[in-house]
Amino acid sequence: MRSYNLDLTPLFRSTVGFDRMGRLLDTASNTEAPSYPPYNIEKVADDQYRVTMAIAGFNAADLDITQNNNTLIVTGNQDKGENDVQFLHRGIATRSFERQFELAEHVNVTNAGLENGLLLIDLKREVPEELKPRKIAIGASTDAQTIEHEKKAA
C-alpha cells in the first residue's frame, strides 16, 4: 500500500479569510472526518467569502445556522414524520448533519440563502478601524517643536 505525502503549501498562500484552512484540509483527507454534506469554500472578493453546501431535500425550516465567536455551525434535521413512500432505491441522503467551520478573526456571516438545493452562506471580513494599519508621518511632532520654540523665546 502506498502512502502519499501531500504538500499543501500553495493553498496556504492563497487563503486569507480562513486562518486554520490547513488544519481543515488535513482533517478532510482523514477517513474519520465527516464528508456529508459536501461543500465548497469560495473567495468572492478580497474580504468576501462564500460557503456553499449541497443539501438536497432540506428546506429552510430544517436548517439552523449559528455563529459562535469564530465558529460557524450549520445543522440540518429533517422531520421524518409519517411517510408511506416505499423506495426501490434511495440515493439522496436526508440524514441529520452538523458541520462546523473555523472562521478567521473578524469574519462574520452577512447573508444566508437556499437556492436549488444549495445552502449559500456569505461571509465578510470586517476589521474594526482601530485595528486597521495606519500610516505614520515621519518627522518631529508639532507639539515638540512648539515647546522647544517657546523655551528658546523665553
Residue 1 covered by a domain: no
Residue 2 falls within a domain, yes or no? no
Residue 136 domain-assigned? yes
Domain range for residue 49? Answer: 9-153
| Model pLDDT, residue 119 | 93
Mean pLDDT is lowest, of 8-17, 86-95, 114-123, for 8-17
- Of 10, 5, 21, 101, nearest in space to 53 by CA: 101
Q: Computed over its alpha carbons, how large is the radius of gyration of the chain?
A: 25
What residues pair up with 63 in beta bridges, in sequence order? 76
Split into its structural domains, the chain has a count of: 1
In a domain, 3, yes or no: no
Instruction: Compute φ and ψ for 10, nearest 5 degrees.
Output: -60, -30
User: What CATH number does residue 145 fall under?
Assistant: 2.60.40.790
104-114 pLDDT, tens digit per residue, is 888 889 999 99
Look at residue 147 and tell me if it is in a domain: yes
> Per the domain annotation, does 42 fall within a domain?
yes
Q: What is the pTM of this model?
A: 0.62
